[in-house]
Amino acid sequence: MDKLESLLDILSSDREYEKRFVIAKVSKSCIWCGNEAVEFRDASARLEYFVSALCQKCQDEFIGGGEQ
C-alpha cells in the first residue's frame, strides 16, 4: 500500500481520523508524519493545516504546491 492509500484509509476511518486529528491539533503536529506543524509557507497552507492537520511537508507531498 502506498502513502496516499494509507492516508486515505486513515481519513475514511472515523474513529482513527478523529483520534489522530485531535492529537495532532493538541500537540501542533502532523496527522500523518507526526512532526511539528508550526511553520507554513503562507496563509493558505496554515488554513489547510486547520482543515486537514497536515504539516507543510506533507501538504506539499500529498496536495502539491512545493515548487515555487
What is the structure's pLDDT at 2? 82
Q: Which residues contact 18 (CB under 8 A, 6 or more apart)?
A: none
Length of the chain: 68
Asked if 16 contacts 10 with a C-beta cutoff of 8 angstroms, the reply is yes
What is the structure's pLDDT at 15? 85
Distance between CA 64 and CA 46 in Å, rounded?
A: 14
Mind listing the pLDDT tens digit for each residue in 4-58?
Answer: 788 777 777 778 888 989 999 999 999 999 999 999 999 999 999 999 999 999 9
